[in-house]
Structure 1
Amino acid sequence: MTETERVRIDGVRAVSVPVTDQDRAVEFYGGTLGFETRLDEPLEQLGGRWIEMAPPGNGISIALTPADERAPSGVDTGIRFTTPDAAALHAALQAGGVDVDPLLQWEGTPPMFDFRDPDGNVLYVSQTP
């Protein structure tokens, strides 16, 4: 085994989303989106907690980290979630008061939309092909 083979990256654990109020973010990601809490521990170095949440059964978590000058909230996260029914999820989020953009549907492309969490962080959803 070469040195490169021993030190390779073998996965993604979490993707960070900066938030201004971690309790509010936990309520949104857990209560509104249905994510489960994987980890919630004090982390003084961050000025808050290390919180990881994920859709049930999913291997990659969203880390809800305290926003600061280096990582402000209200950003385009680039995170793309999947769902078996984009139209139904879009309608449910919109009915729940979530800031969602129109459902996009183009021939040959899965339906998709974007939405914002309470801090204005942009997240995306597309229907599982």
Structure 2
Amino acid sequence: MAVRTETWEVLMARGVATVWVPVDDMDRAVRFYGSTLGLEVRSTSEDWSEIDAGGLMIGLNGREETAEHAPGGAVITFQPEGSIDDEVAHLQQEGVEFTGGISDHEWGRIAPFKDSEGNDLQFYGPPA
């Protein structure tokens, strides 16, 4: 009996091209990611805008008027420029609402907040 062997080419993702974030108000979302978070706004339009988050592209995707907000979903985690405490204080002065304060874990610290469109974001810092 002959045994047939096959070689399979394994295809894998090479990285993340863009994270799509649904938005209701494009101008408000661009201001939040550009001015409030201080990220580089690469391009803007009514339906799609691109934000460079340190080499990771965030695509702001305009929702259709009939779209409903779905609970759950992805969370974008940012590395703060300085300490998490300083960044939280700065963004609170800008009117950003933090949904749970800063929590400490053996694997690091997180501070969850919402963007201008209600999407989940957080700061992450390594353990002290």
* TM exceeding 0.5: yes
Kindly state the Cα deviation for residue 93 of structure 1 after the two structures are TM-superposed: 1.1
C-alpha separation in 2, matches of 1:49 and 1:125: 27
Higher relative contact order (CA 8 A, sep 6+): 1
Q: TM-score, normalised by structure 2?
A: 0.76
The alignment-based identity, stated in percent, is 32
Q: Which runs of 4+ in 1 moved over 6 A?
A: none
On the 8 A contact 1:110/1:128 being kept in 2, the answer is yes
Higher-strand-fraction structure? 1
Secondary structure of the residue that 2:34 maps to in structure 1?
Answer: helix
On the 8 A contact 1:74/1:122 being kept in 2, the answer is no
Q: What stretches of structure 1 of length at least 5 have no aligned partner?
A: 43-47
- Partner residue in 2 for 1:65: 61
The one of 27, 31, 35 equivalent to 2:35 is: 31
On the 8 A contact 1:17/1:73 being kept in 2, the answer is no
Kindly state the Cα deviation for residue 19 of structure 1 after the two structures are TM-superposed: 0.5
Structure 1 residues 85 and 76: alpha-carbon distance in aligned structure 2, compared to 1, 3 A threshold? farther
Q: What stretches of structure 2 of length at least 5 have no aligned partner?
A: 1-6
Aligned length: 118
- Partner residue in 2 for 1:22: 26
Q: Aligned partner of 1:59: which letter?
A: G
Kindly state the Cα deviation for residue 73 of structure 1 after the two structures are TM-superposed: 6.9
Q: TM-score, normalised by structure 1?
A: 0.75
On the 8 A contact 2:107/2:126 being kept in 1, the answer is no
